[in-house]
Amino acid sequence: MSASQLIQDFAKRDSSPAFPQIARSDVVGGLLDRTKAGGEKNIDQARSSLCGPACVMFCLAARQREKYVQYVIDLYEKGEAQFGTLTVKPGAVCRNYTPSGIDPVDWIALAGLRDSENRYLDYKSVESDAAGITLPGTMVKWFRSIGYGHVQESTQLFGGMVQNDDHIRKAGSLRTHGMDVCLFINAQMLYPNSMAGLSLNPDHWVLMLRAIGIDTRTRRISMEVFTWGGTRLVPVTQSGIGNLDDFLKNYYGYVAAAA
């Protein structure tokens, strides 16, 4: 069944949802928006710390729309869904939250996935930063669960070995060869006034949308990424071209995946 037919059938039902604070009409609207041409870019973690789930969900919605739609519908109606080979079952606190600062459909999809992984911390609101942290190993697990047969992970939780020209060039090469590449960064990279500062650790995931432009002679770099419900140039400058050394101060590796 097509994604649009799944959504139409879902809209007609009136059973009691597993996310009682979210109206079915809001889920329908969110699904229609995210399954239109290019609509996966509207998946938005917003004020939450759900950047990891957002990057992986973008890939699922872009490549397997029907599975993305069925996943959201099953979570909403049953409180449990298959995310590929992974059974996702968020806790009651997550399911009974009234979304604020995030679209209801993204709360279901992203917070549902994140909370299901948490053993001790409930993901109970967009302010639950610690409960929303996604480490590289979990990103690898999620990609594999939705059918990516080849996954590479090369990251560090602190600076050092990955912060060099060859490493980011390799990430760009993997994107050029058709892999989905998530970059592990410090989010100050996304702000022109703070990018030059040396960060202490990564705190954000972005998805590379096209190959990186790198000139090691002039120490310049440019790229386009998905994050926060849209696309943006990194560095965020008028030209979209920034200093490679400043970039590397906020770069902590990548997870790359191919179906």
Q: What is the pLDDT of residue 235?
A: 64
191 shares a domain with 78: no
> Is residue 11 located within the same domain as residue 122?
yes
Give the pTM.
0.93
Q: Which of 125, 143, 161 is the last residue of a domain?
A: 143
Task: Give every residue of the chain whose pLDDT is below 70, as ranges.
Answer: 119-132, 193-197, 235-241
Do 172 and 130 have their domain in common? no
| Whether 156 and 118 share a structural domain | no
Reported as type and span, the H/E element at residue 106 is helix 104-106
174/246 same-domain check: yes
Tens digit of each residue's pLDDT (9 = 90 or more) over 97-125: 999 989 999 999 999 999 988 765 566 65
Structural domain range at position 17: 3-143
Pair 128, 233 in one domain:
no
30 and 69: one domain? yes
Give the number of other CB atoms < 10 A from CB of residue 211: 16
Q: Are residues 240 and 163 in the same domain?
A: yes
Counting the structural domains of the chain, the total is 2
pLDDT score recorded for residue 185: 94
Residues 133, 65: one domain?
yes
Q: Residue 72 to residues 10, 30, 60, 179, 194: CA-CA distances in angstroms?
A: 11, 10, 12, 25, 37
Question: Where among 143, 175, 202 does a domain terminate?
Answer: 143
**Together in a domain, 181 and 243:** yes
CA distance 90 to 146: 18
Residues 178 and 137 in one domain: no
- Given this model, what pLDDT does residue 2 score? 95
What phi and psi values does residue 116 have, to the nearest 5 degrees?
-65, -25
Same domain (yes/no): 13, 129 = yes
